[in-house]
Structure 1
Amino acid sequence: MYAQVTTFDGPRSAELVAAADVANRERIMPVLSQDAELQQGLALNLILRRPDGAEMVITVARSTETLHRGEELILGTTLLPGEDPLLLPGPSRVETWSVVDVVPGGATADLLDARVGASGVR
């Protein structure tokens, strides 16, 4: 099992964060969710954000091939009408880690049962 940590350093303006949210919701996630090969190997995707707009995306997958497949799909998308490439500078860093242990807590199933919105509330 592997984890990819994608970091977008802050501070990022509200305009940059909003553009990233639109890109994720309307362009990136639809492509990722429709790819059966990716979905078979994907375990978890967490999007973390600080008040200054910094963001970290943690993706856990069965293999590095799955992680590479996700990268290929994202890089293969075309900007949608209205998306400004200047507001989508890309990540500061992308790192791949081996997962050496998983210790689920009692609330794991409840917390992962439904998507969590940007406010942290389902």
Structure 2
Amino acid sequence: MYAQLTMFEGPRSPELVAASERAGRERIDPLLDAHPDLQDDLVARYVLSQPNGGSAVLVVSRTEHALDKAIELIMTSELLPGEDPALLPGPTRVERYLVQDVRHGTGAR
């Protein structure tokens, strides 16, 4: 398995955060969820946020190809009506990892 961490470092303005959230919710998530090549390979997607507007997206996949395909789909997707490219500057950093170990929690203690 592979994991990709995409960072959007803060501080980010409320307008940037809102634009990013809309892009994820209305364009990117539906695009990835509907793509047949990704449905079986994507294991998990976590969106993490900080009080200063910074965020990170952690995607876990069975293959590196699925991570590459997801990036290709996102980068070639058309913006929705009303999306302002100036409010979607892209990530500040992208890191990819080989998943070495997986442990599932047993609940809160």
TM-score (norm 1): 0.86
- Which of the pair has the greater relative contact order for Cα pairs under 8 Å at 6+ separation? 2
Name the % identity: 50
Task: Read off the aligned partner of 1:10 and give its amino acid letter.
Answer: G
Deviations 1:11-62 (A, max 9, x none): 0011100000111111111111100111110000000000001001000000
Structure 1 residue 72: Cα displacement: 0.8
Equivalences for residues 3-22 of structure 1 within 5 A: 3-22=3-22
Equivalent-residue separation in structure 1 for 2:54 and 2:44 (angstroms): 20
4+ long deviations beyond 6 Å:
none
Unmatched segments (≥5 aa) in structure 1? 108-122
Equivalent-residue separation in structure 2 for 1:27 and 1:9 (angstroms): 21
State whether structure 2 residue 85 is matched by structure 1 residue 88. no
- What corresponds to 1:64 in structure 2? 64
State whether structure 2 residue 36 is matched by structure 1 residue 36. yes
Equivalent-residue separation in structure 2 for 1:63 and 1:55 (angstroms): 24
Task: Read off the aligned partner of 2:76 and give its amino acid letter.
Answer: G
Equivalent-residue separation in structure 1 for 2:63 and 2:77 (angstroms): 22
- What corresponds to 1:45 in structure 2? 45
TM-score (norm 2): 0.96
Equivalences for residues 69-80 of structure 1 within 5 A: 69-80=69-80
Paired residues in the alignment total 108
Unmatched segments (≥5 aa) in structure 2? none
Structure 1 residue 76: Cα displacement: 1.4
